[in-house]
Chains A and B, each alone.
Chain A
């Protein structure tokens, strides 16, 4: 096992507001990690920093030993929590684009997933419902054999049946030595697939533990612990 993602003292400030405030986190390869925290705790900021889409105010973040850049991007598969794909493109166009740019993209896998989710490859993105656009984004991300998957709210907008399929996809598709970091509010839904959990609170890492050990130690589900820790 080796370290795939490491941040130390990671801070991102917007004016006087701290989105992240000295976060320290180390993730090993081959794990599925839940990044959990209430709204505004810094989950999306952390994931965007790991993709180099934001510049840290202070602190460092490395992926496989390197700062986010051209080289790390070939190893990271990112699913943003936004409608980010050009909506005039068809699913087939997008598949072609991912194949063009990512050496680890498997178009056959993508096609299979599109068909089992009932998505038509000839359809333009703008003709799809919000949920189906999210599924499309997830299929494209998970059809890569990346070292690190950064999934920001991957199941937030889809129906419960598709949720199960997506979680199965995530578990089934991530490569042996790949790591998945997924952020979500829907803890009960993902609880069973998580190896580790990270609680973020006000921009800091409150807790990072093995999911089973945590449940055993506290005698409750991660969901129940979350509700307790972040009770309003």
Chain B
């Protein structure tokens, strides 16, 4: 049933996102053409005006993509599950968990897609200014960075750290969406002012989250303070904050361990938000 839910979720959202992405790409191509003309042709007032207009248009579209993505994540959950369309969705023979998964997966995919299309639009538009060979320089830079890492003897670990970093990024995306869902599920419990109740719940969750993370970081800092780690890494709490003295070889396992703990903590936080949302939809639904 999750597959079917996803099919309808993507159908309902694609009709907004795809035309928007298409428009963004078209406008960035137009901008590229205009910039090209400005670089090669004789300068004219019309061309200058055009340059300003297309630049503003692309920037406006980039902002629109970001705003619409966030807005649609909220609206799809609110209208489709807790609003009018809830009369259709909540009587389908589907579990609450499947509903939350469908919304979460679609939200994550569209957020990544929006970011990717925004970057693509910027590259299309601005690469006109890039000098020939600058891409080659970029790859050269990457290669020399890898050389450097190999020299320090940590090249084998960079893949692992990179994977952990990406996982952490993905997890923070999921927790950002799940915080919205949990807040709305709590907000709908109110008889009146349900949107305000949701906003309040969102801030409440945010405060709880920041307390949790700051406590956690404090604990880790205390754990490392003054401790000698292997031969090279040494962390100290000074008046300025954390001071890290390290030799990159000994630092890698420590960074790795800390990233794993962060991932675990993020995973627990996401799971808690998911369970709250799912339980409330299942046991405490109150459609108006």
Contacts and interface: CB of A to CB of B under 8 A. Distances in A.
Interface in A86-121: 86, 88, 97, 100-102
Interface stretch (B50-58, B90-98, B211-219, B262-270): B90-98
A76 B92 CA distance: 9
B84 A15 contact: no
Contact of B84 (A73, A83, A102): A83
B94 A70 contact: yes
Interface string A45-65: 000100111110000000000
A100 B4 contact: yes
Contact of B12 (A69, A76, A83, A86): A86
Contact of A71 (B7, B8, B93): B93
Interface of B: 1, 4, 7-8, 12, 15, 84-88, 90-95, 191, 282-287
7 contacts: A53-B286, A55-B285, A71-B93, A74-B93, A82-B84, A84-B88, A100-B7
B230 to A, nearest CB: 54
Given A53-B90, A73-B91, 10 more contacts: A15-B191, A54-B285, A73-B92, A73-B93, A80-B87, A84-B85, A88-B12, A97-B8, A101-B93, A101-B94
B19 to A, nearest CB: 13
A85 interface: yes
Nearest to A73: B93
A98 to B, nearest CB: 9
A52 B280 CA distance: 12
Given A54-B286, A55-B286, A82 B87 contact: yes
A14 B94 CA distance: 27
A44 B6 CA distance: 30
Contacts of A69: 282
A86 B85 contact: yes
Contacts of A55: 283-286
A14 B84 contact: no
A78 B86 CA distance: 12
A102 B93 contact: yes
A100 B4 CA distance: 7
B92 A53 contact: no
Contacts of B94: 70, 73, 101
Nearest to A150: B91
B84 A84 contact: yes
Nearest to B192: A15
A85 B89 CA distance: 9
Contacts of A83: 84
B91 A53 contact: yes
A101 B90 contact: no
A73 B286 CA distance: 17
B22 to A, nearest CB: 18
A52 B4 contact: no
A78 B91 contact: yes
A1 B78 CA distance: 41
Contacts of A82: 84, 87
A52 B285 contact: yes
Contacts of A52: 90-91, 285
Nearest to A97: B8
Given A70-B94, A73-B93, A101 B4 contact: yes
A1 B12 CA distance: 43
Nearest to B88: A84
Given A73-B91, A97-B8, A53 B285 contact: yes
A69 B281 CA distance: 11
Contacts of B286: 53-55
Contacts of B91: 51-53, 73, 76, 78
Given A100-B4, A102-B93, A53 B191 contact: no
A52 B8 CA distance: 22
B279 to A, nearest CB: 12
A85 B85 contact: yes
A102 B118 CA distance: 39
B210 to A, nearest CB: 31
Contact of A48 (B88, B93, B191, B287): B287
A97 B4 CA distance: 9
A53 to B, nearest CB: 4
B188 to A, nearest CB: 11
